[in-house]
């Protein structure tokens, strides 16, 4: 998702949607459906209605996801709209009215950048599912549960608004920059999300480099049994955005960050550690290739049995190629963001829905979302592009028979028939499990093996990435 910020001397101090949340340490519950897979150490920063929001401004209030759902779409005409993006566009229109997007002649230099606290970018969006039937129907899937793809779409929209807030200077002067979603480090489901109870999305910038920033977003929903509100964090996500100069396309410096509370400092330290780990991983990738040869050969040995001796192949296993699904579309003007490119959240939703279908046809039972392990935004997608999404079950984890895991890869390609070229634009990695009732009926998940060396290398790389997250 791309977000453009341009300069103006008329911009007022942005404060209406700045919220401060006291820290809460999430605790596991005794719910049989509690998500425990690969639960990393994540520090929550949010609260819920039962723990009132602590604000300095009595006028501060969360954004209502359904506030504009019944209004004519008059803001940002032609731009992609969903209930939450519509509400966020409406909030941003208040800045538009004050000339935020007017190009001024002056440009701030790096030494004139301001330092902002995480609380100044904090934003909250409320979903009043319990009372808003129209909104609830927008997010309900065939199993009367939440559509995870819609939620992922909203997380990207919220991350864009948060990055916008952080890069806007209180005095109103800011350099014209383009804010781009670089990657999604992790989206982890900690417990099932219901569609019949109110929930909130909250987030803030937690770490800033020279031209990049990391945001932590959370989905909050009160426990169904009315237990401790510390169990309200249902999902945690980490988004990384980068800033580009809108004229040159080069990296552009952004406002600094000054954590104030102990919790904010801890979040900064965790994000700093993740950033260093990403750099180390890139530096070591080439060195590790030779060490993977034996693992790749072992995987390929299993796959060759299916090709050369199909009658003797293990009936509880299957080749990766036989799990593949794909979809294609022409990217329409109605799917663009405010800068003419396809809205990143829309792409995440389409990838999520294809991954769900792939896991569904592979398992033979309705899958249940566990996590998005990683998303790479390699190349922007433009209006008119022919986009092809290809998905497959990359591997399965069957060590725990009570909770088998299905790892799905989705790769999006921008294809140009006139030029006879096809380029990767996005990569997505999803993990699903199956519902408890399916397991009690004797459902058995099959193992998956690669047929080619390229497939085997992708499997090894993803397994290693998962292992790094676990550690």
Predicted confidence (pLDDT) per residue in 241-298, tens digit: 988 887 777 888 999 999 989 988 898 988 888 877 777 766 565 555 555 677 777 7
- pLDDT-based confidence at 464, cuts 50/70/90? confident
Q: Are residues 298 and 186 in the same domain?
A: no
What whole-number distance in Å separates Cα of residue 65 and Cα of residue 67?
6
Q: Has residue 431 got a pLDDT over 50?
A: yes
For 301, the token pair is 């040995």
Q: Are residues 349 and 266 in the same domain?
A: no
User: Which residue range(s) make up the domain with 60?
Assistant: 2-282
What whole-number distance in Å separates Cα of residue 35 and Cα of residue 219?
14
pTM above 0.75, yes or no: yes
Least confident range from 114-123, 223-232, 389-398: namely: 223-232
Q: Are residues 300 and 273 in the same domain?
A: no
Q: What is the DSSP string of 221-245?
A: ---TT---GGG-EEEEEEEEEEEEE
Q: What does the pLDDT read at residue 45? A: 63
Q: What does the pLDDT read at residue 389? A: 96
Q: Are residues 293 and 388 in the same domain?
A: yes
Nearest one of 103, 48, 361 to 246, comparing CA atoms: 103
Taken in order 374, 214, 273, 193, the sign of the CA dihedral is negative
Q: Are residues 344 and 228 in the same domain?
A: no
Mean pLDDT of 380-402: 92
Q: What does the pLDDT read at residue 251? A: 87
Mapping DSSP to helix (H, G, I), strand (E, B) and coil, where does residue 394 land?
strand
Q: Are residues 108 and 252 in the same domain?
A: yes
* Maximum average pLDDT range among 25-29, 96-100, 145-149, 230-234: 145-149
Q: Among 252, 282, 312, where does a domain finish?
A: 282
- Which residue would you say has higher pLDDT here, 257 or 94? 257
- pLDDT-based confidence at 51, cuts 50/70/90? very low
371: which strand partners? Answer: 188, 431
Q: Are residues 312 and 405 in the same domain?
A: yes
The 10 Å CB-count burial string (b at 16+, else e) for 6-43 is: ebbeebeebeebbbbbeebebeebeeeeebebbbeebb
pLDDT (tens digit per residue) in 132-157 = 998 899 899 988 889 999 999 999 98
Angle at 305 between CA 302 and CA 308, to 5 degrees: 145
Q: What does the pLDDT read at residue 171? A: 52
- Which residue would you say has higher pLDDT here, 123 or 89? 123
DSSP E strands, 113-255:
115-116, 123-127, 177-189, 199-208, 212-220, 233-245
């Amino acid at each position: 998702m791309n977000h453009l910020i341009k300069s103006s001397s008329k911009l007022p101090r942005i404060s209406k949607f700045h919220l401060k949340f006291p820290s809460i340490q999430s605790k596991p519950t005794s719910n049989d459906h509690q998500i425990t897979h690969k639960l990393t150490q994540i520090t929550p920063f949010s609260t819920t209605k039962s723990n009132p929001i602590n604000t300095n401004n009595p006028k501060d209030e969360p954004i209502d996801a359904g506030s504009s759902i019944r209004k004519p779409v008059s803001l940002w005409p032609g731009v992609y709209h969903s209930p939450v993006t519509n509400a966020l566009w409406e909030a941003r229109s208040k800045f538009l009215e004050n000339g935020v997007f007017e190009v001024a002649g002056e440009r701030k230099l790096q030494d004139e950048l301001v330092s902002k606290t995480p609380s100044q970018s904090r934003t909250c969006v409320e979903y009043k599912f319990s009372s808003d039937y129209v909104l609830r129907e927008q997010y309900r899937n065939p199993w009367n549960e939440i559509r995870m793809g819609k939620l992922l779409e909203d997380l990207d929209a919220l991350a864009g608004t948060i990055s916008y807030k952080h890069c806007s200077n209180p005095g109103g002067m800011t350099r014209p920059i383009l804010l781009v979603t670089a990657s999604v480090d992790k989206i982890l489901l900690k417990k099932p999300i219901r569609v019949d109870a109110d929930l909130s999305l909250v987030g803030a910038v937690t770490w800033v480099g020279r031209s990049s920033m990391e945001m932590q977003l959370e989905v909050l929903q009160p426990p169904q049994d009315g237990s401790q509100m510390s169990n309200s964090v249902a999902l945690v996500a980490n988004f990384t955005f980068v800033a580009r100069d809108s004229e040159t396309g080069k990296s552009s410096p952004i406002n600094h960050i000054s954590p104030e509370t102990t919790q904010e400092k801890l979040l900064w330290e965790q994000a700093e550690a993740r950033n260093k780990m990403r750099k180390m991983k890139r530096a070591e990738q080439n060195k590790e290739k030779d060490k993977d040869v034996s693992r790749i050969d072992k995987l390929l040995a299993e796959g060759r049995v299916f090709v050369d001796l199909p009658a003797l192949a293990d009936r509880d296993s299957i080749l990766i190629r036989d799990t593949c699904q794909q979809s294609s579309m022409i990217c329409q003007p109605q799917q663009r963001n405010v800068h003419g490119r396809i809205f990143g959240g829309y792409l995440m939703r389409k990838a999520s829905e294809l991954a769900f279908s792939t896991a569904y046809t592979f398992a033979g039972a309705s899958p249940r979302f566990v996590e998005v392990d990683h998303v790479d935004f390699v190349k922007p997608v433009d209006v008119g592009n022919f986009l092809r999404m290809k998905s497959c079950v990359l591997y399965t984890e069957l060590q725990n028979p009570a909770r088998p895991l299905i790892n799905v890869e989705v790769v999006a390609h921008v294809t140009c028939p006139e030029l006879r070229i096809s380029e990767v634009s996005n990569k997505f990695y999803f993990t699903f499990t199956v519902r408890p009732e399916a397991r009690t009926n004797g459902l058995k998940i099959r193992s998956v093996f690669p047929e080619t060396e390229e497939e085997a290398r992708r499997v090894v790389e993803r397994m290693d990435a998962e292992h790094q997250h676990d550690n």
